[in-house]
Chains A and B, each alone.
Chain A
Amino acid sequence: MKINYKKIVCLSFALSVLVGCDDFLDVDSRERVTEEDSGENLEPIAFVNGIYGMMTEWDYAFSYLGITEIISDNADKGSSPGDPGGDKGLLDGLTFTSTAGSVEAMWTNWYKAIGRATYSISYTENFGLTDTAYKNRLIGEAKFLRAYHYFFLVRAFGDVPLQHVNLTVRVPKEEVYDFIEQDLLDAIQVLPKKSEYGSADLGRATKGAAQALLAKVYLYQKDWQNAFNYAELVLTSGEYSLEPNYAEIWRVNTENGRESIFEVQARGESIAHGVQQYSETQGARGPSGWGWGFNTPSQNLLDAYNAEGDVIRRDATIIFRGETMYDGRIVSTAVENPMYNEKAYSSANAGAGDGDKNIRVLRLGEIYLIHAEAANELGNSDKALASLKEVRDRVNLGEITTTDQNLLRTLIWKERRLELAFEHDRWFDLVRTGQAAQAMQANGKPFEVGKHELFPIPNGQLIQTPGMGQNPNW
């Protein structure tokens, strides 16, 4: 008997050793879709959608405000004096350095968006789509978005690395512009017009968007003829017309409307998916407020509107403390700051993390002004005045008739400021037109010529790629 038990013990012991074979270690992943399992599911369009998605990132709200608006003479940091908003106070005061978080965040995010675009292009090309027009359209969208982000980089930092070439070598900004132009020219060839897209695709990059962006790209290079030509193409395309009421340009009801050329799409309902906290960070702060109160209109901007007698655009751009807004909301007199940015106001989702309102990126109003500026530089003041008139008529401002090229130039620049305030154009426009030093110093900001025209290469980048070199005087 005893021996039998011994045998049983021996046997079970041996068995337990035997079952310990390698199969036991084959455990399938249940949490994360492995690359090989996911590749079959993702169509190229998913990766293209992913590039657009990048524009809804948190940094495209808060950091973006910092380096496009708060830094400029249009806006102040806002919020409470004791809340620096990270580096927003430093950007406002022009005392930021290469360690400013907002600068690094945007540098990084622009490059990540570019990375997504480049990946989408090669993925789409190699995926084996049989519908050539569709395939080309996807590639066109990706190229448009890549150009859009490189355009930010070149304006903000000057010479920058082309990501697909070398991460550590900065190429001259002319080459960056060449690359941007090539992408946009390619995109113009293949992208459908706004009216040619199916309804479900409303919001995708269009031929008109690529042309409009290209006009702006040429404007920055003072290639007046090309800027003029591409602006003209957009104006005469028959796809767009001005919204009759300026105040409605930034409201939900005109999203992707007649004037809209390109917008960042946002929806407020669950699952809410707007640019993360774009509205909230700029909402009125304090009792009965709905936001953090950053990026507030400056006295300087208010003065500029008042000097021009520009009531319509002033009231459409600025929320005043104590006012009753178009949707009936009474802005309490107890809110912290006297003025807020109305273009960021989301009526239905005020205070919610994600606003419901699209962010206008390119619209016909600006194309008129590009057209006017380029025409003026080309000596064609008739065309310039005609385009300027379109913009001013809408807001009940008198016609400008001067044909003096220099005077007209400054008038167009001023028009750009009033028309496009809080549309993330002011800082780059100041630098482009050479007004930055004068405008900032007039506000008591320590703008240094030869330094502040460009942002510093972020310290975090230089730690990892020290050979890249810093911008002058930073």
Chain B
Amino acid sequence: MKNFIFGVFVLLFFQGHLHAQDIKGKVLDENGLPLPGVNILGSTSSSVSDFDGNFSINAKVDEPLTFTFLGYVTLTINAAENMSVSMKMASTDLTEVVVVGYGTQKRTDLTSAISTIKSDQITKQPAFNALQSLQGKAAGVNIIANDAPGATPTIIIRGLGTAESGRTPMYVVDGVVTGSIANLNPNDIESFDIMKDAASAAIYGSNAANGVVFITTKKGKLGKTTIKINSFYGAKSILNPVKMANSSQFVTYFNESRAAIGNPDRLSLNQPYNTDWYDALTGTSFSQGNDISMSGGSENVTYYFSYNNYEEDGLLEGHKVARNVLRSNNTFKAFDGKLKITQNVSVAFTKSTPKPYSSFTEAYKQAPIIPVYYPDGRYGMSFWNKTTGLPDYVIGPGQVGGRLNSIGNPVANVNYQNEKNKTMEIQGLLQADYTFTDWLTATTRFGATKSNSKTRIFNDIRARYLTADPTRTLLGFQNAQNAAPTSTEFANNSLSYKDVESFRYNWDTYLTASKSFGKHNFNLTAGVTKERRNDVYESFMEGYGVPEQENYWNLDMASLNYTKVVKQYYYTPVNVLSYFGRLQYNFDEKYYISGTVRRDGNSTFKKNADYWGTFPSVSVGWVLTNESFLSDIKNLDFLKLRAGYGEVGNANVRYNTTTIITNAGSANTNYVFGPNQDLVFGGAVGSPAADLSWELTKEINLGADFEFLNRRLSGSFDYYNRLNTNAILNVKPIPNSPASENYFDHGGEVRNKGYEIALNWRDNITEDFSYSIGVNYAHNKNTLENVKPAYDGLTGGSLGDGQLTKRLQEGQPLYSWWLLEADGVWQTQAEIDANPHIGTPQPGQLRYKDQNGDGVIDDRDKKYFGSYIPKFSYGINVSLAYKNFDLSVDGFGAGGNKVYNGLKGTRVDAGENIAAETFNNRWTGPGTSNTNPGANRDALSSSYYLEDGDYFRINNITLGYTFKDMFNLSRLRIYGTAQNPFLFTKYSGFTPELNNSGIPNETAGIELAAYPNIKTFIFGVNIEF
């Protein structure tokens, strides 16, 4: 009533002021500095603060104005003449907006597990692929880095949930569904939102089992044009090289080994060469990035335009990746802001010249007594003169020659690799939002990605032939060529081109209704989406004997003596049609409930009964601090409990081959007949094709979000238990059945359970000095359960020499290590004779445990040794700001897993080099070592080569200085960054981050041709005006 009377007075006395007028004012931050770009919303109009924080808006005095700005607490103040508004930084993440799929939500309203990482965290570490910069930033999001230029890191969210199906999460870039984000410029990214639990991801149904990663790119903000320039330059080198044996150590080792097997050959103790192959192979290389963006906007139009150039060299000579990305993100409003059109387009051009990583293995194994080049300039090869014991290939009369090993010259192989890749990827989005009323909006959007790539490989067969054996001559090659004029083995060279074109799109249309009735708040989203993916065209052409000069590398100029190879095929596209809906309700921002449902139809499974499936989820939340009984507790600012359940699918499954096998090449279905031995094509029955559908994963998530101590300490905790209920396994048919091919069938369950903790502390010590410390930790346990009889047991982890290391077994993590257990070293022949052994070992070789006690050692004595996948991972992020200085230090670690040092282990022939450590610790006679074998080793895979995969690395130390108001620039910052300066690990190889192809039953976790970890020192500058 008082207010009413006051209002009447106001009406009467200040009538003139009640008419709408231009209210002017200024927005400042906590420090009194102007805040540009703040959105100001009145009841009838809106405005944006300019560069100096000044604004003007058509409003009535005392009309409530809402001030919003990302990262600041939204403020509503009544309008006044020459008002001065001071906005406070949002002290925690809880005020931020989170992308939830077909919509956004306030973090405080969230009832599921979604991690958000903002742009400043991403651009702190320049990288080709922004995922690399996420390492250690989000609990439960395990990123396995790969330091090779242009490499895509592996991302595993909450453990490995599948043995055979797709393992990568789904990426959604501003609504465009895509398979990779290698085409994105990390500087264009505003934020990552990672859906970790099924309750949140279920809105994406059959594609969401590996999690969903949303990427929101930057948009223009209302206000004056902002131009930003970022540049950096970096120098890279190997982080922790393995010290290899030198020539004299190698000779000792070699001679010991020969003596042990009773072979009279010896290397001379006076060797002319002492080659450090890693030195010869690698050097310091460089990377650089230059980025310019321009953004701004007015009431009806915003724009963001950027260009980025990124170049990176590999450690190997000639290994380069260069990417240029153009992006234009615009929004237009029409019809009084009711219609909003969003248009994003990005074009990425990537060029690379890859080099063989196998050279790293060769550099490890090639003997140090072999020269990089012979005095005559030819590449050194592992030939030696057994009579003189020297690495000569010229064998005099009466002398005997030999080869130390079958390893090539790594430097030669790098130089001969001549490959060029070019990729162009266009990604675009067109979206229209139409607001019918204040509570109902319709959205339709079309997003598509088109990519073209071309690979050219030139192989100088003749040069490789001559290099492979220095005794070979050009004349010899020509004679061989004349003798077999159609044999491609003796062609001068080969040239191939491979083209891949792919296209995918998604078209989403949905309605969003949001309305409150008193304390009852409702939000409803419902829609339909169509998606087409895997629409891929691939062609491959190869010819032999083209002219040597690069300008003539046309297949039309290939020699007619050889058959040209042409392969071309289309992939079968996958169409997915889906209906989805989400209902969110909360009462008074205290009690939350959210339910989603998605119905997916997938063309892949059209022939099967189950090609439609429904993926529901439900989650609840309770904000305890909004209850009266908790609202007044000191130091408890926010506490929310969450629980969710959801079902998600993995439709990226392996197919069963059809029952008829045919092949146009040299395959076991074909044969030759007749005097000319013409190839005849045949066929065979493969395996019975079992009906497959997506894998269905069900997950329970329990969590809490909290803020304590005046919002200085914030964090969250999550527990999850997710079960892939019908995991597809690669099944080996019964050996004596007619079925000849492994086939895929639903045959087990994969469980991942664990917990995640994230804590963040931030505080200001003085006006000038603020700091924050973030830590996170995640623990996961992976198990294969309930396997159909005889469906497990598939072996893998081949070392390429006939030795296997992994096996899929019920009760174990997926593809666990499965090895003989090394049990000391045989000291004497008598000891060997008296105990079970494998083959005919000699003293100094490893002894293995007879696990089943049957008196013989064979595969049945192999034991499980856990998984290559880390059980836990953690991150720590510290940042300090003092006056104009900023310092940040980030670390990341993982562990609880085992990795296999395959470099140390495979086919040890003593003619291959060893690490200095292996040399120093070897067995040299009875009693010298009961852990490490002598120079005469067997080549069996065993637990001896398995090591702890634990590591911790400091992946970023950055020190920056910001000049304010210099040279008329609004911001000028210079910084220096040390990327990966330190790695702490007990692992004896190059890097314990060994994901390789990521395929669990292949070399994941095995160091064979791994790219070493790199440290990079970067100097950079950020300019804004």
Knowing A97-B856, A267-B677, say if A31 contacts B569 (CB, 8 Å). Answer: yes
For residue A163, which residues in chain B have a CB less than 8 angstroms away from its CB? 736-738
Report whether B674 and A202 are in contact in the complex, using a CB–CB cutoff of 8 Å.
yes
Cβ of B858 < 8 Å from any Cβ of A? yes
Report whether B471 and A53 are in contact in the complex, using a CB–CB cutoff of 8 Å.
no
CA distance A39 to B659 in the complex (A): 10
Cβ of A300 < 8 Å from any Cβ of B? no
Q: Which of B507, B603, B682, B907 has the most CB of A within 10 A?
A: B682
For residue B671, which residues in chain A have a CB less than 8 angstroms away from its CB? 49, 52-53, 56, 203, 265, 273
Which residues of B approach A to under 8 Å, CB–CB?
A: 261, 263, 335, 339, 383, 386, 393, 395, 400-403, 432, 434, 436, 442, 444, 469, 471, 483-484, 486-489, 507, 509, 511, 528, 530, 562-563, 569-577, 579, 601-604, 606, 611, 655, 657-662, 665-675, 677-685, 732, 734-740, 790, 793, 801-802, 838-840, 856, 858-860, 907-911, 937-940
Report whether A24 and B395 are in contact in the complex, using a CB–CB cutoff of 8 Å.
no
Report whether B469 and A288 are in contact in the complex, using a CB–CB cutoff of 8 Å.
yes
Report whether B603 and A27 are in contact in the complex, using a CB–CB cutoff of 8 Å.
yes
Which secondary structure dominates where chain B touches chain A? loop
Query: Shortest Cβ distance from B266 into chain A, in angstroms?
Result: 15
Report whether B670 and A286 are in contact in the complex, using a CB–CB cutoff of 8 Å.
no
Query: Across the two chains, which residue of chain B brings its CB closest to A289?
Result: B403
Query: Across the two chains, which residue of chain B brings its CB closest to A119?
Result: B685
For residue A97, which residues in chain B have a CB less than 8 angstroms away from its CB? 856, 858-860
CA distance A49 to B436 in the complex (A): 69
Q: Which of A5, A89, A115 has the most CB of B within 10 A?
A: A115
Interface 1/0 per residue, A10-36 and B, CB below 8 Å: 101100110110101111111111110
For residue A28, which residues in chain B have a CB less than 8 angstroms away from its CB? 572
Report whether B683 and A50 are in contact in the complex, using a CB–CB cutoff of 8 Å.
yes
For residue B793, which residues in chain A have a CB less than 8 angstroms away from its CB? 460, 463-464
Report whether B670 and A459 are in contact in the complex, using a CB–CB cutoff of 8 Å.
no
Report whether B939 and A82 are in contact in the complex, using a CB–CB cutoff of 8 Å.
yes
For residue B681, which residues in chain A have a CB less than 8 angstroms away from its CB? 46, 49
Cβ of A186 < 8 Å from any Cβ of B? no
The 4 lowest CB-CB distance pairs between A and B, nearest first, are A115-B738, A49-B682, A334-B401, A99-B859
For residue B840, which residues in chain A have a CB less than 8 angstroms away from its CB? 89, 93, 95
Report whether B469 and A27 are in contact in the complex, using a CB–CB cutoff of 8 Å.
no
User: Could you write out 23 A-B pairs with CB less than 8 Å apart?
Assistant: A5-B335, A9-B339, A12-B444, A16-B509, A24-B575, A24-B601, A25-B603, A27-B575, A31-B570, A46-B682, A47-B684, A49-B680, A53-B668, A82-B907, A90-B838, A114-B738, A167-B736, A200-B674, A271-B679, A273-B670, A276-B666, A334-B401, A354-B666
CA distance A84 to B941 in the complex (A): 12
Report whether B734 and A167 are in contact in the complex, using a CB–CB cutoff of 8 Å.
yes
Interface contacts beyond A53-B684, A265-B671, A287-B402: sample of 4 additional A-B pairs, CB < 8 Å, sorted by A? A19-B530, A48-B682, A90-B839, A112-B740
Report whether B261 and A81 are in contact in the complex, using a CB–CB cutoff of 8 Å.
yes
Cβ of A471 < 8 Å from any Cβ of B? no
CA distance A119 to B683 in the complex (A): 11
Query: Across the two chains, which residue of chain B brings its CB closest to A466?
Result: B790
Knowing A203-B672, A269-B486, A351-B489, say if A9 contacts B658 (CB, 8 Å). Answer: no
CA distance A331 to B76 in the complex (A): 93
Cβ of A458 < 8 Å from any Cβ of B? yes
Query: Across the two chains, which residue of chain A brings its CB closest to B605?
Result: A25
CA distance A334 to B383 in the complex (A): 9
For residue B679, which residues in chain A have a CB less than 8 angstroms away from its CB? 267, 271, 273
Report whether B665 and A39 are in contact in the complex, using a CB–CB cutoff of 8 Å.
no
CA distance A454 to B312 in the complex (A): 61
Q: Which of A101-109, A240-248, A304-312, A393-401 contacts B (4 or more CB under 8 A)?
A: A101-109
Report whether A333 and B400 are in contact in the complex, using a CB–CB cutoff of 8 Å.
yes
Cβ of A204 < 8 Å from any Cβ of B? yes
Report whether A265 and B738 are in contact in the complex, using a CB–CB cutoff of 8 Å.
no
For residue B669, which residues in chain A have a CB less than 8 angstroms away from its CB? 49-50, 53
For residue B658, which residues in chain A have a CB less than 8 angstroms away from its CB? 32-35, 38
Partner of A203, one of B530, B604, B673: B673
CA distance A111 to B484 in the complex (A): 38
CA distance A104 to B804 in the complex (A): 15
CA distance A458 to B103 in the complex (A): 58
Query: Across the two chains, which residue of chain B brings its CB closest to A273?
Result: B666
Query: Shortest Cβ distance from B820 into chain A, in angstroms?
Result: 11
For residue B602, which residues in chain A have a CB less than 8 angstroms away from its CB? 25
Query: Shortest Cβ distance from A23 into chain B, in angstroms?
Result: 10
For residue A286, which residues in chain B have a CB less than 8 angstroms away from its CB? 402-403
CA distance A441 to B909 in the complex (A): 29
Query: Shortest Cβ distance from A102 into chain B, in angstroms?
Result: 10
Query: Shortest Cβ distance from B257 into chain A, in angstroms?
Result: 8
For residue A80, which residues in chain B have a CB less than 8 angstroms away from its CB? 909, 911
CA distance A100 to B839 in the complex (A): 12
Interface 1/0 per residue, A87-130 and B, CB below 8 Å: 00110010101111100100110011011101100000000000
Report whether B668 and A57 are in contact in the complex, using a CB–CB cutoff of 8 Å.
yes
Report whether B678 and A89 are in contact in the complex, using a CB–CB cutoff of 8 Å.
no
CA distance A100 to B838 in the complex (A): 12
Partner of B434, one of A9, A85, A201: A9
CA distance A107 to B733 in the complex (A): 13
Cβ of A450 < 8 Å from any Cβ of B? no
For residue B859, which residues in chain A have a CB less than 8 angstroms away from its CB? 97, 99, 459
Query: Shortest Cβ distance from B826 into chain A, in angstroms?
Result: 15
CA distance A460 to B602 in the complex (A): 36
Query: Across the two chains, which residue of chain A brings its CB closest to B432?
Result: A9
Partner of B670, one of A35, A49, A116, A348: A49
Which A residues between 324 and 352 are near B, CB-CB below 8 angstroms? 332-334, 336, 348-349, 351-352
Q: Which of A9, A107, A352, A459 has the most CB of B within 10 A?
A: A9
For residue A53, which residues in chain B have a CB less than 8 angstroms away from its CB? 667-671, 682, 684
CA distance A394 to B860 in the complex (A): 50
For residue B667, which residues in chain A have a CB less than 8 angstroms away from its CB? 53
Cβ of A465 < 8 Å from any Cβ of B? yes
Query: Shortest Cβ distance from A423 into chain B, in angstroms?
Result: 21
Cβ of A199 < 8 Å from any Cβ of B? yes
Report whether A81 and B682 are in contact in the complex, using a CB–CB cutoff of 8 Å.
no
For residue B662, which residues in chain A have a CB less than 8 angstroms away from its CB? 33, 38, 42, 46
Report whether B395 and A13 are in contact in the complex, using a CB–CB cutoff of 8 Å.
no
Knowing A30-B569, A199-B675, A287-B471, say if A464 contacts B735 (CB, 8 Å). Answer: yes
CA distance A239 to B670 in the complex (A): 27
Partner of A9, one of B442, B575, B601: B442
CA distance A127 to B131 in the complex (A): 57
Query: Shortest Cβ distance from B330 into chain A, in angstroms?
Result: 20
Query: Shortest Cβ distance from B472 into chain A, in angstroms?
Result: 8
Cβ of A448 < 8 Å from any Cβ of B? no
CA distance A304 to B142 in the complex (A): 65
For residue A302, which residues in chain B have a CB less than 8 angstroms away from its CB? none
CA distance A276 to B735 in the complex (A): 21
CA distance A333 to B486 in the complex (A): 30
Query: Across the two chains, which residue of chain A brings its CB closest to B740?
Result: A112
CA distance A111 to B736 in the complex (A): 5
Knowing A16-B509, A20-B528, A31-B569, say if A83 contacts B939 (CB, 8 Å). Answer: yes
For residue A13, which residues in chain B have a CB less than 8 angstroms away from its CB? 442, 444, 509, 511
